[in-house]
Amino acid sequence: MRFDVAIIGSGPGGYRAAVLAALRGLKPAIIESATWGGTCLNRGCVPKKAWYRSARLLASRDRLSSRGVRGALHADLDEAWRDQRRIVETVRGSYLDYLKRLGVAVFHGKGRLRSAATVEITGQEPIDAANIVIASGSEPFVPAAYPLRPARVITTDELFDHPPPPGRRVAVIGSGVIGAEMAFILAMLGVEIVWLTHSAPLARTRFSGSARALLGEALADHGIHARTASRPTACRTDERGAVLTLPDGTEERVDWVLVAAGRRPRTADLGLAAAGIALDEEGFVRVDDRQRTSAPGVYAIGDCTNRAMTSNHALAEATVAIADIIAPARGQRRPEFVPTVVYSALELARLGLSEDEAEAAGYETATGFAGLEASPAALAAGEPRGFVRLVADAESGEVLGAECVGVDAGERIHVVGACADRSDALARLAAIRYNHPSLAEEIQFATETLAAKWGLAALVFPTEQG
């Protein structure tokens, strides 16, 4: 069989590549060796978002009485687990049905490149393709100091795939996005959290110090604190749970351990070398700005090539790869404008350059800021902690980056993202007809403040355009 595009991996990037190819008139095939939908659908973004929404409801319970709402809310982690499985199965069924309706050929088996034009599939005949997209994803990184043990030492893969282990005293290891999210979510779902990290939460991310400080305050409101300089050096398990050895030699006993130490690309045993596809020193597939690998006709997208390792980047890169297949050299990726979002005690979202990064790149920066403490929408939601910050070039007015913090930050960032890579972004952001009161309109206020403060009013206010 011959296809226009063969896609290895059915996560968000692979799925979007297959859908876009079919919608553009190509004949695509998609190959999956495990569960359809990849990590995001089955044990990542989708089930986590379900738990996050429940966690947000539970986090609000202490202030409900002052808002005229009486009654008690109680967490049930086991029922929350069953709920996320129902959601995952519903989405997966819809996913597979849509691929079928689009005429996408689906193959279940291990996909491996025989060459840059042929994919072997375990137990089936090889398929030929004019183009191949590698969307093989990633897997949890598990340090040797704490090897996985069923119901004792697990990752989010096991947590979402299987009912939660018994016991409610849980160690979360990791200061990154997964650690910051799961420490909050599990705490709200009734778990006693022992959060052990090497560095401060999100210290290695690109979020600003002020954003991270506000998150720390919000976590502290719920009694959640990261114990820094406390990443375990060893772990042993027994019939009672797990015992972690800390750097100072003390021990911490918990019922089970959630390892959130990051992820690594899944690029082994794909036949990449045989197809002439180069990897970097960390095992990521090397690509150019159109997602092309070193082998003609072969593309790579998502976690297997992008260190950001977010579904957002995989989806954006799928669009670039399929566009290049249809019309070579017509577009290129803009990873800096793909949003990054953290769902924790406070939502954090960002895209583009920070003020420091922009100045390091040689820009003279202009900033605009709007806090949520006086926002009618934020006050009505009972969550006035947060802000919007815009970063622009002081000479041209080009929007270089943005950061949204607080309620629904992950939704608000899209308003900036829709305009950010346009030369007239400030004018577009100011001219949007915003709903009032809304959280999004704070973006307009930040835009107008920036323009007035930095002499860019002619770019924003129509009456002052020459």
pLDDT tens digits along 217-267: 999 999 999 999 999 999 999 999 999 999 999 999 999 999 999 999 999
Residue 270's domain comprises 2-140+264-336
The whole-chain average pLDDT of the chain stands at: 95
Task: Output the pLDDT for position 67.
Answer: 86
Task: Output the pLDDT for position 463.
Answer: 64
- Among 241, 261, 281, the domain boundary falls at 261
User: Has residue 466 got a pLDDT over 50?
Assistant: no
Task: Output the pLDDT for position 462.
Answer: 67
Task: Output the pLDDT for position 424.
Answer: 87
User: Has residue 279 got a pLDDT over 70?
Assistant: yes
Q: What is the pTM of this model?
A: 0.95
The span from the CA of 239 to the CA of 242, in Å, is: 8
- The answer to the question of residue 147 being in a domain is no
Pair 93, 39 in one domain: yes
- The answer to the question of residue 93 being in a domain is yes
Pair 299, 230 in one domain: no
User: What CATH number did the domain enclosing 397 receive?
Assistant: 3.30.390.30
Pair 161, 246 in one domain: yes
Confidence class of residue 438 from pLDDT cuts 50, 70 and 90? Answer: very high
User: Model confidence over 329-359: pLDDT tens digits?
Assistant: 877 888 999 999 999 999 999 999 999 999 9
Whether 447 contacts 432, CB under 8 Å: no
Confidence class of residue 284 from pLDDT cuts 50, 70 and 90? Answer: very high
Task: Output the pLDDT for position 249.
Answer: 96
Pair 270, 129 in one domain: yes
- Among 227, 242, 261, the domain boundary falls at 261
User: Has residue 191 got a pLDDT over 80?
Assistant: yes
Burial class (CB in 10 A: 0-12, 13-18, 19+), 349: buried
Task: Output the pLDDT for position 373.
Answer: 96
User: Model confidence over 39-91: pLDDT tens digits?
Assistant: 999 999 999 999 999 999 999 988 888 889 988 889 999 999 999 999 999 99
pLDDT above 70 covers a percentage of the chain that reads 99
The two counts, helices (H) then strands (E), for the chain are: 14, 22
In 3D, which of 439, 252, 247, 248 has the Cα closest to residue 347? 439
Q: How many CB atoms lie within 10 A of CB 104?
A: 22
> Averaged over 402-407, what is the pLDDT?
98
User: Has residue 326 got a pLDDT over 50?
Assistant: yes
Whether 449 contacts 372, CB under 8 Å: no
| Structural domain count of the chain | 3
Find the helix or strand (DSSP H, E) in which 441 lies. Answer: helix 441-453
What is the C-alpha end-to-end distance of the chain, expressed in Å?
Answer: 61
Burial class (CB in 10 A: 0-12, 13-18, 19+), 354: buried
- Among 336, 370, 395, the domain boundary falls at 336
